[in-house]
Chain A
Amino acid sequence: MSDTGAFFDPARWRPGPLLPRRDARDGALVFIVAVLCFLACLTAIGALAADRAARGWTNQLTGSATVVIQPHGAETPDAAAARAAEALSGVKGVTEARALEKEKAEALLEPWLGRDAMIDDLPLPRLVTVDLDPKAPAKAADLDRALKAAGVLATVDDHSVWIADIQRAAGFARWFALSVCLLIIAAAAAVIGFATRAGLAAHRDVIEVLHLSGAETGFVARLFQTRFATAAGMAGAFGATAAAALAALARLAGGGQGLTPVLPLAWIDLLAVLPVPVLAALTAAVAARLSAAAILRDLG
């Protein structure tokens, strides 16, 4: 669009854009899509962190068991514990079994019994801590059987009472984060779809003229597809960048453990924002294509 008509030179003419340039409405749309993409990215990162946290809780519990040795007969408690540890080490699914030294066991009990009570001949129970193979942990029954075979009187605590609770909580945290994330992604997709359709409707007059001039569906669809995919992709990129920056900040502020040990954030989680602009652009492209085809079908 040159301004000095007298100097308009057809030889230098370049075809103008078939769609009107972006207007204020497009700006508002880009903003809303950017905000939704930002939220979608944050919840995606949150879901990843929640998943990691949940796995951490259960791993700590399933990765170990505690065996309490009841001293009996002539054998010293220490000897019984040592024998138990030896028997347990041989069980499949156990990576290590250690008898807790007397001092450590006393240290554990001290808060309850008090320092003065720590006299040598108090029949303190001895503890054996068992580290389990995280891939195929030994069951409590397996440990029991090994202890019985060795003739040691002991009770096995494999934390199973806790594990069920913790796993339920972890599962809930995981699903909650995932649901919120999916919900926001769906909302973003719906907004992109509606906005694209509204945008096309606003240009219906242009579409009609193109149609009556013999434009094919693909020609019209491509025009809008490019326009709206670019806008949504840009908005998605804004939102994703902002979310990644915020998450990076949280990761830095949170120190070695991530945001907090409760929501452990890893650098790799930031990669979750990468597909968002692409998805936003794809959604807009598909919506534009479908709407254009629908309008042209309607026009005959």
Chain B
Amino acid sequence: MSTDDTYSMQDVAGPVLRFSGVGMRYGRSPEVLKDINFELPAGSFHFLTGASGAGKSSLLKLIYMAERASRGRIDMFGRDIDQIAATDRPFLRRRIGVVFQEFRLLDHLNAFDNCALPLRISGGRPDKYRADVAELLSWVGLKSRMHALPATLSGGEKQRLAIARAVVGRPDILLADEPTGNVDQGHALRILRLFVELNRLGTTVLIATHDEDLVARSGQPVLHLDNGRMIHYGRGGAA
């Protein structure tokens, strides 16, 4: 990826994200997240681990504002996200890149169009970004698959495409939900390097994963969820 000096830095000092006493439930069911307190300092890199059903995806959904907390308070870029006007939310979302657990690629668009989607939405001009998109797709190993529709991609290829789409807009926060679930170790390490590179450019990274090996190799700090409660760990592998 090429660097760009127009890259937007966080507009406030202090944590990019802060959860204070956050609880969350789906409908009238019991809370799937209970009393969550943590901070992500600007430019930090964390893993989010926990057993299946522990609430990792739910916590990410709160951050990318697909769900609302049922109690507590979430501050992003120094602002309480519940206080942000509906008309400002799209602009906040553009600063968050998300790799969804189920990818959520648009089936009728080819890989290139899927990857370029965030740039298109934020009003970029194709001749400005097409080279970046092509370079990024090559980087994640999809150089020969740029024309392919998602239905014709393998699981790992879809995953890499989803990752490329999440990072193409150089977000301030990158959220990834099981980004290495479908790829071999070689690709997993390559993806990790991409995240680390992005992190070096200033992006705050949070990756939900089961992949103990990846966590151990990275040596990055871990947030652990146990049945909806957060347990803070130290560095990866040093639990």
- Residue pair B104, A15 in contact (C-beta under 8 Å): no
A2: chain B residues within 8 A (beta carbon): 110, 147
Q: Does A186 contact B (CB under 8 A)?
A: no
Binding site for B on A (CB under 8 A): 1-6, 8, 10-11, 13-21, 205-206, 208-216, 219, 297, 299-300
- Residue pair B149, A1 in contact (C-beta under 8 Å): yes
* Residue in B66, B120, B145 whose beta carbon sits within 8 Å of that of A15 in the complex: B120
- Residue pair A13, B93 in contact (C-beta under 8 Å): no
10 A-B pairs with least C-beta separation: A214-B94, A10-B134, A214-B93, A8-B147, A20-B108, A5-B147, A16-B113, A214-B90, A216-B90, A215-B121
- Residue pair A212, B122 in contact (C-beta under 8 Å): no
B112: chain A residues within 8 A (beta carbon): 8, 10, 13
Most B CB within 10 A of own CB, among A15, A17, A206, A210: A15
Binding site for A on B (CB under 8 A): 64-66, 68, 86-87, 89-94, 98, 104, 106-110, 112-113, 116-118, 120-122, 126, 130-131, 133-134, 144-149
B122: chain A residues within 8 A (beta carbon): 214
- Residue pair B117, A213 in contact (C-beta under 8 Å): yes
Chain B's nearest CB lies how many Å from the CB of A16? 4
Bound-complex Cα distance A6 to B144 (A): 6
Interface residues of A: mostly helix, strand, loop or mixed? loop
Chain A's nearest CB lies how many Å from the CB of B8? 13
Q: Write the chain A residue with the least CB distance to B67.
A: A300
- Residue pair B93, A15 in contact (C-beta under 8 Å): no
- Residue pair A300, B65 in contact (C-beta under 8 Å): yes
- Residue pair A10, B68 in contact (C-beta under 8 Å): no
Bound-complex Cα distance A292 to B161 (A): 27
- Residue pair B106, A209 in contact (C-beta under 8 Å): yes
* Residue in B121, B134, B144 whose beta carbon sits within 8 Å of that of A5 in the complex: B144
Q: Write the chain B residue with the least CB distance to A299.
A: B66
Q: Write the chain B residue with the least CB distance to A219.
A: B121
A11: chain B residues within 8 A (beta carbon): 130-131
Query: Beyond A10-B112, A214-B118, A300-B89: 4 further Cβ-contacts under 8 Å?
Result: A15-B116, A18-B120, A20-B108, A209-B104
Q: Write the chain B residue with the least CB distance to A6.
A: B144
Known: A15-B120, A300-B65. A3 touches B147 (CB 8 A): yes
